[in-house]
Structure 1
Amino acid sequence: MEMGNVPVVVYFSHNGETLLDGKHQQVSFGNTEVVAKAIAQVVDGELVQLIPKQAYPVDYQATLARAKQEMKFEQSPEIGSIKHDFQNEDVIYLGYPIWWGALPMVIQTFLQQVDLRGKSVYPFCTHEGSGFGRSFQELQELLPESDVQKGLAVRGSRVTCAQCAVNNWLGKKGEKYVSKR
């Protein structure tokens, strides 16, 4: 990897109440954030968190209800400004929770705002049993001129042990999926 070209790990994560092993639990950081930080550590990457202008409710069920409404009415929530310039990136790690078997609409907002044509996109997600759901297909449809690569799905209830999965996915030093510049 060329000096000066730091990999970027873009993620959206919900904190507050989450479902772990079928039980509602309070967390101060979301499951996807845990995986994003593990990836950034391996590839020595820059973290870019996507933050909706209108925060999702702390209550897990209320968050899922809002997510369902956004999907039903194809509402892309506004996100805070992104201060990263993606123009010179060739590898993007993109993380999100799986809600209703799909990409959160926050990710669609990001993809509408940032040009990722010609880039390799490595998706990662957290879930409680659905794996990638249909999000991989959605990414391929939303990014027809990008190279959507094999991703990593981590069960939320196992997120505290995600470093091993990240290491297996990326290689111990990220050599599998870093920029070749």
Structure 2
Amino acid sequence: MAKLVIFYSRADENYFGGQYRFVEVGNTEKLAHIIKDVTGAELFKIEQKKPYSPDYKSCIDQAMADKRSNARPELVELPENLNGYDEIYLGYPNYWGDLPMAVYTFLEAFDWAGKNIHPFCTHEGSGLGGTERNIARTCKGADVKAGLAICGSDVDCSKDLVLRWLNQ
């Protein structure tokens, strides 16, 4: 069976260890490409139809409003199904110890029975938070493996950590 890297990532203005910086490629997307290159997996990027603001503080306000209302933002597209995949690498930034709401939109659209899910996230100090538990609760029947958390500020020098995680 094939492998798939599914990820949600945000470019534009981002927060790095106390400073704001514009990036063309989001941290989680960088990790997704490392995993794709090592595993030979296909890629699928979760994208909201109405993206959050490129301004970091405005983005955070929008994302928090979605979290508070338990929103399920509409996505640009979804795969027809995930039937051909048994190994799923699921990437996301950690938003307040949880998944971005657009990731829930994606997860709730599919049957996860029999799938192995390998969570990976980027963060600026909160690690995986409760995300592994939330994935397991949302993806009934999936085997959620131990996740990988990489500080967003360290993504560009994290390939060795990713390789160790993939080889576990």
TM-score, with length taken from structure 1: 0.89
Gaps of 5+ in 2: none
Which position in structure 1 is the counterpart of 2:123? 127
1:19 aligned partner: 15
* Structure-to-structure mapping, 1:94-105, within 5 angstroms: 94-105=90-101
Q: Which residue of 1 aligns with 2:53?
A: 57
Distance 2:108 2:26 in 1: 24
Shift in Å at residue 112 of structure 1?
Answer: 1.1
Structure-2 change in CA distance of 1:155 and 1:82 (3 Å): same
Q: Does 1:142 align with 2:138?
A: yes
TM-score by length of 2: 0.96
Residue in structure 2 matched with residue 79 of structure 1 by the alignment: 75
Deviates more, 1:27-36 or 1:5-14: 5-14
Amino acid at match of 1:118: G
- Please report how far the alpha carbon of residue 19 of structure 1 lies from its aligned counterpart in structure 2 after TM superposition: 0.6
User: Are 1:38 and 1:162, in contact at CA under 8 Å, matched by a contact in 2?
Assistant: no
Offset of residue 163 of structure 1:
0.9
2:53/2:59 contact within 8 Å kept: yes
Give the CA deviation at 1:82.
2.3
Tell me if the contact between 2:2 and 2:86 (Cα under 8 Å) persists in the aligned partners.
no
> Which residue matches 2:3?
7
Query: Does structure 2 conserve the Cα–Cα contact (< 8 Å) formed by 1:131 and 1:154?
Result: yes
- Matched residue SS, 1:118: coil
Quote the Cα distance in structure 2 between the aligned partners of 1:98 and 1:109.
16
1:106 and 2:102 are equivalent in the alignment: yes
Q: 1:61-114, CA deviations, whole angstroms, 9 ceiling, x for partnerless residues?
A: 111111111111111101111236411211100000011121100110001112
Return the offset for 1:144.
Answer: 2.7
> What is the aligned-residue identity percentage?
36
Structure 1: state its 5+ residue gaps. 177-181
| Distance in 2 (alpha carbons) for counterparts of 1:7 and 1:111 | 16
Distance in 1 between residues matched to 2:80 and 2:36, nearest whole Å = 15
SS at structure 1 position matched to 2:34: helix
Select which of 157, 162, 174 maps to 2:158.
Answer: 162
**Structure (1 or 2) with the greater strand fraction:** 2
Mapped partners of 2:62, 2:122: distance in 1: 18
